[in-house]
Structure formats: structure tokens, C-alpha cells
Amino acid sequence: MNASQEIQPILEIKDLKKSFGDKHVLNGFNLKLFEGENLVVMGKSGSGKSVMVKCLVGLMQADSGIIRIKEQDIEILGRSELDLLRTHIGFLFQGSALYDSMTVRENLEFPLRRHKKKLQMKENTETLVREALKNVGLEHTLDLMPSELSGGMQRRVALARALILKPEIILYDEPTTGLDPITSKEIIQLMRSIQDTYNTSSLIITHDVDCARVISNRMILLVDGINYAEGTFQELSSSDDPQVKAFFKN
Ligand SMILES: Nc1ncnc2c1ncn2[C@@H]1O[C@H](COP(=O)(O)OP(=O)(O)O)[C@@H](O)[C@H]1O
Ligand SMILES: [Mg+2]
């Protein structure tokens, strides 16, 4: 295959570096996410997974490296171009991060108010909100406050909010953290069905081995600030490398 025929990743991170003082968190991390795949990044607590995601979405400035989304280098984009590019990405951050003082409906309307026009979405807001909630099985919560929902329901509403702009890429940072095992399973199933329905490409940050087993098409292990090992769950979980093995033993 020549270079022009090579499949381009929908999202790419090249040689990403980030330090805090003399604490080197990312030391040249690389990642390619291809269309339609579920890529899991696993790393120990404090290994820099959230730092990587924050650099990716521009919440944090990397020291160096290249981040490319849909073949556009985010460094060279202006503010409004970057804003538009970001609407192609849905986030589900650690915890649910719903706005406590807003109803479920208002939480879902929030991203629409900001971006709907730019995206030239024709459906009315009410339709989009109802559809998004229906996708996560929570239509009846429209006028409730987040505090009236269980942890699992809050996570599902957050997922509905992440999906409302119909993004091509979804980033999940620890989607199952803080949930009981049964609720975790529900969220993982929901993530799978969303990918089937919308053919989204997902980057899933987790340290949950069960989540990785169920959801990943491919995995990257983040160790010492680099992409230490890559492969399928099968390949990595049967590796002889002690650093890799450590991730899979319980
Ligand atoms: N804003 C910050 N200032 C200083 N250190 C930070 C900051 N954000 C993260 N760190 C440090 O970077 C390391 C990686 O953090 P993080 O990416 O949150 O880990 P995790 O892999 O658990 O998501 C940790 O040691 C953390 O203390
Ligand atoms: Mg984290």
C-alpha cells in the first residue's frame, strides 16, 4: 500500500510531552484512533491518562507534540475553527459533571444552545433532547434535577449530553469509576449499543479490566508516560512482559 492509500486515523497523538515542574507525566505518548473502533487506554492511577485527555481537548496545554483531529492539526487552528472541530467530539468525563442547578432537560440543552446553529442541525431542541434521553432509556427524567437521580442514571444523562450533537468521536474518561458492578455493566452495554447505532469512534480511558475486555477492539497501555504496549485484549492479557501482566492480574 502506498502512502496515499493508507487509512488515516480520525484522531492522532504524536510524541506528546507534558511535565509539571520536574515531574514528567507524558514522555512522548503516541496514539491513533481509527474510524469505528473502540480504543482503550489503560494506565495505573496517576499515570497521566486524564492529562492526556485534557491536552487532547485543549483543557490543558501540552509542552510539545502533535494532536490531529480529522486530519487537522489543532495547533494551527484558530479559535472558531477549533470550536467547530470540538463539536465532533463528545466527552464523558470522570464523574458525571452534570450541572447541579439545572434540570436534566437544561443540562442537555446546554451544548445545543452553544453549537446547534453552527452545526446547522434542523431538528428542534425539544426533539433532540427527547431523542438523546430515549437513547439512554431515561425519557421520564426530563424535568428532574440531577440530585434526584441515582449515580448510574446521572452517568447515563451525561452520556446523552455527550451524544446530543451527534459526535463522530467520543472520549470516555473512566466511565465506570464510582459505579457498582451491575451499574458498570449497564453503562458498558450502553456504550456498545451507542457505537453500534452511531458508528462512533471511541477513546476509552479506564483501569477497569472488565470494561476493557468487553468494549475494546484494541488497547494501549500507558506506562512511564509512553504507549508501552499495544494490541488486542487477548494479545495483551496473555503477554509475558511483567509490566503488561501487572495490569491483568487481580
Ligand atoms: N494541574 C496539575 N498540576 C500539577 N500536577 C498535575 C496536574 N494535573 C495532573 N497532575 C499530575 O499528573 C499526574 C497524572 O495525573 P492524571 O492524568 O490525573 O492521572 P490518571 O492517569 O489517574 O488520570 C499525577 O501525578 C498528577 O498529580
Ligand atoms: Mg484520571
Which pLDDT tens digits describe the chain residue by residue (250 residues)? 555 567 889 999 999 999 999 999 999 999 999 999 999 999 999 999 999 999 988 889 999 999 999 888 887 777 777 777 778 888 887 766 899 999 999 999 988 887 777 677 777 889 999 999 998 999 999 999 999 999 889 999 999 998 888 899 999 999 988 888 998 999 999 898 888 888 899 999 998 899 999 999 999 999 999 999 999 999 999 999 999 999 998 6
The alpha carbon of 206 and the centre of ligand 2 are apart by a number of angstroms equal to 8
How far apart are alpha carbons 129 and 160 in whole angstroms? 8
pLDDT of residue 114: 78
How is residue 240 annotated by DSSP?
-
pLDDT of residue 5: 64
How is residue 148 annotated by DSSP?
G
pLDDT of residue 83: 78
The alpha carbon of 233 and the centre of ligand 2 are apart by a number of angstroms equal to 21
Take residue 71 and report the three cell numbers written for it.
Answer: 486530519
Does residue 18's CB lie within 6 angstroms of at least one atom of ligand 1? no
Residue 173, strand partner residues: 205
pLDDT of residue 3: 56
Task: Please report, as a single letter, which amino acid is at residue 9.
Answer: P
Does residue 20's CB lie within 6 angstroms of at least one atom of ligand 1? yes
pLDDT of residue 2: 56
Nearest-CA residue for atom 27 of ligand 1 = 46
Please list, in sequence order, all residues whose beta carbon lies within 8 angstroms of the beta carbon of residue 132, skipping any fewer than 6 positions away: 108, 160, 161, 163, 164
pLDDT of residue 121: 73
Does residue 49's CB lie within 6 angstroms of at least one atom of ligand 1? yes
Does residue 25's CB lie within 6 angstroms of at least one atom of ligand 1? yes
pLDDT of residue 95: 66
